[in-house]
């Protein structure tokens, strides 16, 4: 569990963040939260699916692997994709909300924190470094993106456009694998929507996001190829 505290230039004056990618820094994850504003860039690299979030709603996820703790894009300190979801990039920072004010918190238990290595968070005079300002902007984008995602997934549910799916895969080594517990867009129901419903989705900005999700499903083939290459020891 994260151990967040409000970031400040007194208690954390000497704090640095290691930006390197790697399993040791928590990047060995199967998926990451995403939202419609990111779909256009992420769909070129990752399948985008949905998962129930335990609060009666659904979250959009970019998939990196087929089982917990598996990131097929991660090799050593290299993340093999041109785009990394902002929910990964923002670590080890979290956003806190006090009324309408957004505040930067840091996870004190994150392995990315150091006093000797990485990006400094504060200038000698106490001001924020460019890195800290960039992370604050990233957190704002995450916050706004997740807020917007609620309306998107609500629209999907309103039109009954989410369906569960199971993906059964036989890998090159003969092993059988199953991906389950996720949802995607029901294409037949989408095609059956009348013009008024499509117009509402379009005006809300949801229709483009829906098509980006559908386009992302072609990345399952590439993800399977990565899995086969990982099993064969070539990646």
Number of domains in the chain: 1
Distance CA 235, CA 229 (A): 5
| E runs forming strands in 18-152 | 31-34, 48-52, 58-63, 74-75, 78-79, 93-98, 101-107, 113-114, 119-120
Distance CA 186, CA 177 (A): 23
Q: What is 38-51 written as a DSSP string?
A: HHHHHTTTS-EEEE
Q: Could you give the percent of the chain with pLDDT greater than 90?
A: 91
Structural domain range at position 153: 4-232
Q: What is the pLDDT of residues 199-212, one digit of tens each?
A: 999 999 999 999 99
Distance CA 144, CA 192 (A): 31
Question: Is residue 105 pLDDT above 70, yes or no?
Answer: yes
pLDDT at 16: 97
Question: Is residue 97 pLDDT above 80, yes or no?
Answer: no
Structure tokens at 53: 């979030």
Question: Is residue 162 pLDDT above 70, yes or no?
Answer: yes
pLDDT at 234: 67
Q: What is the pLDDT of residues 117-148, one digit of tens each?
A: 999 999 998 899 999 999 999 999 999 999 99
**Whole-number mean pLDDT of the chain?**
94
pLDDT at 2: 82
Q: What is the pLDDT of residues 38-57, one digit of tens each?
A: 999 999 999 999 999 988 89
Question: Is residue 235 pLDDT above 70, yes or no?
Answer: no
């Amino acid at each position: 569990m994260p151990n967040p505290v409000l970031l400040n230039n007194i208690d954390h004056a000497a704090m640095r963040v290691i930006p390197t990618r790697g399993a040791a820094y928590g990047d060995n994850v199967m998926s990451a939260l995403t939202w419609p504003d990111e779909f256009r860039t992420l769909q070129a690299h990752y399948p985008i699916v949905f998962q129930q979030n335990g609060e009666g709603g659904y979250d959009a996820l970019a998939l990196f692997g087929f089982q917990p703790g598996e990131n097929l894009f991660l090799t050593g300190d290299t993340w093999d994709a041109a785009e990394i979801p902002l929910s990964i990039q923002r670590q080890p920072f979290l956003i806190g909300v006090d009324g309408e004010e957004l505040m930067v918190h840091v996870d004190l238990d994150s392995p990315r924190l150091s006093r000797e290595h990485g990006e400094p968070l504060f200038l000698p005079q106490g001001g924020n470094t460019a890195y800290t300002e960039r992370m604050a902007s990233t957190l704002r984008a995450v916050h706004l993106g997740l807020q917007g995602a609620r309306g998107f997934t609500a629209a999907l549910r309103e039109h009954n456009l989410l369906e569960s799916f199971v993906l059964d895969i036989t890998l090159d080594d003969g092993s059988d694998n199953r991906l389950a517990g996720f949802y995607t867009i029901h294409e037949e129901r989408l095609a059956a929507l009348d013009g008024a419903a499509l117009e509402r989705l379009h005006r809300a900005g949801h229709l483009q996001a829906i098509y980006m999700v559908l386009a992302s499903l072609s990345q399952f083939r590439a993800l399977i190829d990565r899995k086969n290459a990982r099993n064969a020891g070539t990646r």
